[in-house]
């Protein structure tokens, strides 16, 4: 009886203990859920891990744990939890699949990235980009990057801004190191602006171009929030604060200063952009009013006056959308163009393509901003953020929805101001190659006034850090030799053209040369990591059609090692200099790959002018068709156009008084018709060395262009073509009879 009673007491004690333990576990989960709902991801992650350690294998807890680390951008920890999610949970959740795809892309595992991303609406182009990932790794030799001494070990430095001689950037290093400066999102400090009065005081050092997974234990490690999040929830407990706020900045020349603002702005003050012309600065700032504890504080854009090293009159811009009803919609990451007229920003407003999209607004004459319009052409189902304008109005932004290497990548778009106040015209999107972009987050690029240097942010080495860059295009010579297959003699005086193979399969003409006395051709304008076609032109056949030999070349390292950049081509050489003069080369600028071997026929009879050598009306469209039969440019001659010729003395490229009168009439027409453009065609007679005549015809069109532009015509309205002896009108070799060939033809057209 006593034994039974004892067993019963032990059983009740066990039940009580189990109940207390279950209650404790439930309390941990409740606290974790509360922290998660309050956007305290740092605290939530720690509590969910404690809950998971009790043996509870709840898949929804795993999902929230992964989400916490994703929001804090601790990607390696996020992947650990995403990898143990069940297949059923992933199957119908596009958000989870997109994140897993990005995590695989960060590890350069594009096969798995494609598998998870395929079939998700709005991500077809990004998926196709992962299938052609080598296209995004070209041109890397043009760029060199350096690590800056303004970066710290424990904090984030991002969004650089060049203004005058100063550099400004965003940092979450606490100013006073107080608990009030710490946010619960990731247990780091609120963001504010730092600056150095002289950007020249920054110390740089080359940084190894390696992937993060290859770095050693000395690599910086720190916790940080996704920088386009609200990230403003106050931390509740000191228990999960980072261990140290100690600085590790080395080689300091000058201590960075805090940007002062006349009216104190609380919470995050991030991503500055400025118009020096308008003396205005724009910053992403949290809403300053009271908020519920469990809600994120919305972000807006503040405009302030630049007063030297001080900002005054900060005010939120009224950029709200008229039909917006969600107070959690945010506007952030402004980009102002140099004149202060156009403002582009990101917003997660309802009705966009997904995530954060780009919108543009224009300052009207009364100083108010127009209703924002979506930049549909640039937006994707992903995020388009961190936009900037350069001094020459080029537009940069980052996206994780366009094709790229993974994470946020940086893209460039040329802009053109439209006439009649219709806003900016955005050109095609250009991807900036590695090492500017990587498989991690790369964003917020700014360019110096010389367009060759600048700064950008990347987290490729475990943190948000600012890097400097220099862009200096590099060239690789491509050469070859032409040999007569019949007698082994080297073929001189043979035209050769170099065409670059674009990603879309089209060919772009890069250079033209003539083989020298040893039958050698050398192109000096080839770029690294590119595929090319070299076209060598044989003598014309009896029916007048030229035959071409096409050789594929490569400037990728493997191609150069295999000798593809240097080649010997065999075919019959021309029998005489007169036969050489019949060689015809197309001036095609853009043709398709399957057109490379297409036979080209260009007649010269349409170029004959009257005996008095005067300018006269001409069928310009016929001339365009003859010169550009295979050219895929939309050339349209103006209705009131004319066809003009200027002539030169023997071996000269200076102008006679008659030639200058002709050019003056062209200038007058160009000024009266600002939409018209010019093509200049340079020619020589057949006397002398073929290579020399190519150079002479080039000098003639350059001299003509210089004369016209000296009269106030924009040089972008003028195109140059030069052919040496290839298009003669008079085919004899005497100085007198050949004077009609020593000419530059001027043709007006509309593009």
What DSSP designation does 259 have?
P
Answer for the pair 213, 178: CB distance below 8 angstroms, yes or no: no
Specify the CATH class of 141-471 in words: mainly beta
Instruction: Report the pLDDT value the prediction gives residue 390, as an integer from 0 to 100.
Output: 93
Instruction: Report the pLDDT value the prediction gives residue 329, as an integer from 0 to 100.
Output: 80
Q: Whole-angstrom distance between the N-terminal and C-terminal Cα of the chain?
A: 107
- Residues of the chain falling short of pLDDT 70: 1-22, 138-139, 177-184, 205-254, 291-296, 320-328, 417-423, 484-488, 503-504, 537-643, 732-737, 750-751
d(CA 119, CA 91): 12
d(CA 67, CA 708): 63
Answer for the pair 679, 721: CB distance below 8 angstroms, yes or no: yes
* SS3 category, 166: strand
d(CA 432, CA 405): 10
Q: Residues 367, 369, 375, 379: is their CA dihedral positive or negative?
A: positive
Answer for the pair 310, 304: CB distance below 8 angstroms, yes or no: no
Answer for the pair 490, 162: CB distance below 8 angstroms, yes or no: no
| Residue closest to 274 by CA, chosen among 389, 430, 424 | 389
Q: What proportions of the chain, in percent to the nearest 5, are helix, strand and coil?
A: 25, 30, 45
| Residue closest to 729 by CA, chosen among 698, 689, 685, 693 | 685
Helix 690-709 crosses helix 657-672 at what angle (to 10 degrees)? 50
Instruction: Report the pLDDT value the prediction gives residue 466, as an integer from 0 to 100.
Output: 94
Helix 124-131 crosses helix 110-117 at what angle (to 10 degrees)? 160
Q: How many CB atoms lie within 10 A of CB 51?
A: 23
Instruction: Report the pLDDT value the prediction gives residue 107, as an integer from 0 to 100.
Output: 86
Instruction: Report the pLDDT value the prediction gives residue 749, as an integer from 0 to 100.
Output: 73
| CATH architecture assignment, domain 605-749 | 2-Layer Sandwich (3.30)
Instruction: Report the pLDDT value the prediction gives residue 612, as an integer from 0 to 100.
Output: 26
d(CA 495, CA 504): 27
d(CA 138, CA 293): 49
Residues 6+ apart with CB under 8 A from 474: 141, 142, 527, 528
DSSP assignment of 678-742 equals EEEEE---S-S-HHHHHHHHHHHHHHHHHHHHTTT--GGGEEEEE-TTSS-SS---STTGGGGGS
Instruction: Report the pLDDT value the prediction gives residue 577, as an integer from 0 to 100.
Output: 34
Answer for the pair 41, 49: CB distance below 8 angstroms, yes or no: no
What tokens does 13 get?
A: 């004690």
Question: For domain 478-595, which CATH number applies: 2.60.40.1120, 1.10.1660.10, 2.30.30.280, 3.40.980.10?
Answer: 2.60.40.1120
Cis peptide before 435 (omega within 30 of 0): yes
Instruction: Report the pLDDT value the prediction gives residue 324, as an integer from 0 to 100.
Output: 46
> What burial class does residue 60 get, using C-beta atoms within 10 Å of its C-beta: 0-12 exposed, 13-18 middle, 19+ buried?
exposed
| Residue closest to 161 by CA, chosen among 359, 358, 391 | 391
The pLDDT tens digits of the residues spanning 178-227 come to: 555 566 677 777 889 999 998 888 877 665 443 333 333 333 333 333 33
Instruction: Report the pLDDT value the prediction gives residue 173, as an integer from 0 to 100.
Output: 85
Strand 182-183 vs strand 166-171: parallel, antiparallel, or unpaired?
unpaired
| Residue closest to 246 by CA, chosen among 174, 157, 150 | 174
The pLDDT tens digits of the residues spanning 515-565 come to: 888 888 888 888 877 788 887 765 554 455 555 566 666 666 544 443 444
d(CA 349, CA 331): 8
What tokens does 142 get?
A: 């043009």
Domain boundaries, the chain: 141-471, 478-595, 605-749
What tokens does 160 get?
A: 């650089």
What tokens does 49 get?
A: 């891990």
């Amino acid at each position: 009886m006593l034994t039974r009673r004892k067993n019963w007491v032990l059983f009740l004690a066990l039940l009580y203990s189990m109940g207390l333990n279950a209650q404790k576990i439930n309390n941990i989960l409740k606290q974790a859920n509360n922290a998660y709902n309050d956007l305290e991801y740092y605290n939530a992650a720690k509590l969910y891990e404690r809950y998971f350690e009790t043996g509870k294998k709840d898949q929804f807890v795993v999902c929230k744990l992964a989400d916490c680390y994703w929001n804090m951008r601790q990607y390696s920890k996020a992947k650990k939890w995403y990898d143990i999610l069940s297949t059923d949970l992933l199957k119908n959740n596009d958000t989870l699949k997109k994140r897993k795809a990005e995590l695989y892309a960060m590890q350069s595992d594009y096969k798995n990235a494609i598998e998870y991303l395929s079939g998700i609406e709005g991500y077809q182009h990004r998926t196709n980009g992962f299938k052609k990932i080598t296209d995004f790794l070209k041109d890397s030799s043009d760029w060199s990057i350096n690590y800056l001494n303004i970066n710290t070990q424990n904090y984030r430095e991002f969004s650089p801004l060049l203004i005058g001689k100063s550099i400004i950037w965003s940092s979450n290093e606490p100013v006073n190191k107080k608990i009030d400066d710490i946010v619960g999102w990731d247990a780091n400090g609120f963001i504010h602006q730092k600056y150095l009065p002289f950007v020249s005081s920054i110390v740089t050092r080359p940084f190894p171009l390696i992937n993060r997974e290859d770095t050693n234990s000395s690599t910086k490690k720190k916790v940080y929030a996704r920088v386009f999040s609200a990230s403003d929830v106050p931390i509740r407990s000191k228990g999960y604060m980072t261990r140290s706020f100690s600085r590790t900045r080395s080689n300091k020349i000058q201590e960075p200063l805090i940007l002062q603002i006349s009216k104190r702005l609380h919470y995050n003050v991030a991503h500055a952009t400025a118009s020096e012309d308008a003396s205005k600065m724009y910053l992403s700032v949290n809403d300053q009013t009271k908020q519920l504890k469990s809600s994120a504080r919305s972000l807006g854009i503040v405009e302030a006056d630049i007063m030297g090293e001080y900002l005054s009159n900060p005010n939120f811009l009224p950029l709200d959308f008229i039909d917006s009803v969600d107070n959690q919609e945010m506007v952030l990451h402004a980009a102002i163009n140099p004149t202060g007229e156009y403002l582009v920003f990101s917003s997660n407003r309802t009705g966009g393509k997904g995530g954060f999209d780009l919108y543009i607004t224009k300052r009207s004459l009364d100083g108010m901003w127009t209703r924002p319009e979506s930049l549909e052409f640039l937006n994707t189902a992903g995020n388009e953020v961190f936009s900037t304008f350069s001094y020459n109005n080029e537009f940069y932004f980052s996206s994780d929805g366009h094709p790229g290497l993974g994470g946020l990548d940086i893209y460039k778009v040329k802009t053109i101001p439209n006439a009649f106040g219709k806003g900016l015209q955005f050109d095609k999107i250009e991807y900036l190659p590695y090492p500017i972009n990587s498989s991690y987050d790369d964003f917020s690029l700014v360019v110096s006034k010389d367009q060759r240097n600048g700064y950008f942010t990347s987290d490729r080495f475990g943190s948000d850090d600012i890097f400097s860059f220099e862009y200096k295009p590099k060239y690789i010579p491509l050469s070859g030799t032409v040999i007569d297959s019949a007698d082994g003699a080297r073929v001189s005086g043979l035209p050769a053209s170099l065409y670059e193979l674009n990603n879309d399969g089209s060919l772009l003409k890069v250079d033209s040369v003539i083989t020298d006395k040893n039958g050698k051709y050398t192109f000096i304008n080839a770029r690294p990591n590119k595929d090319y076609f070299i076209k060598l032109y044989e003598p014309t056949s009896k029916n007048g059609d030229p035959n071409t030999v096409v050789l594929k070349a490569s400037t990728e390292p493997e191609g150069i090692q295999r000798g593809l950049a240097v080649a010997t081509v065999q075919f019959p050489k021309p029998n005489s200099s007169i036969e050489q003069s019949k060689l015809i080369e197309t001036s095609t600028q853009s043709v398709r790959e399957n057109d490379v071997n297409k036979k080209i026929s260009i007649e010269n009879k349409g170029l004959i002018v009257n005996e008095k050598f005067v300018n006269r009306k001409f069928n310009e469209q016929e001339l365009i068709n003859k010169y550009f039969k295979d050219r895929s440019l939309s050339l349209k001659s103006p209705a009131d156009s004319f066809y003009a010729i200027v002539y030169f003395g023997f071996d000269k490229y200076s102008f006679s008084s008659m030639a200058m009168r002709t050019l003056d009439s062209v200038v007058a027409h160009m000024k009266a018709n600002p939409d018209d453009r010019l093509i200049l065609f340079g020619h020589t007679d057949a006397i002398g060395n073929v290579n020399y005549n190519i150079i002479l015809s080039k000098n003639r069109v350059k001299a003509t262009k210089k004369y016209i532009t000296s009269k106030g015509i924009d040089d972008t309205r003028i195109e140059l073509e030069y052919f040496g002896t290839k298009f003669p009108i008079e085919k004899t070799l005497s100085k007198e009879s050949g004077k009609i060939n020593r000419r530059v033809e001027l043709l007006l057209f509309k593009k």
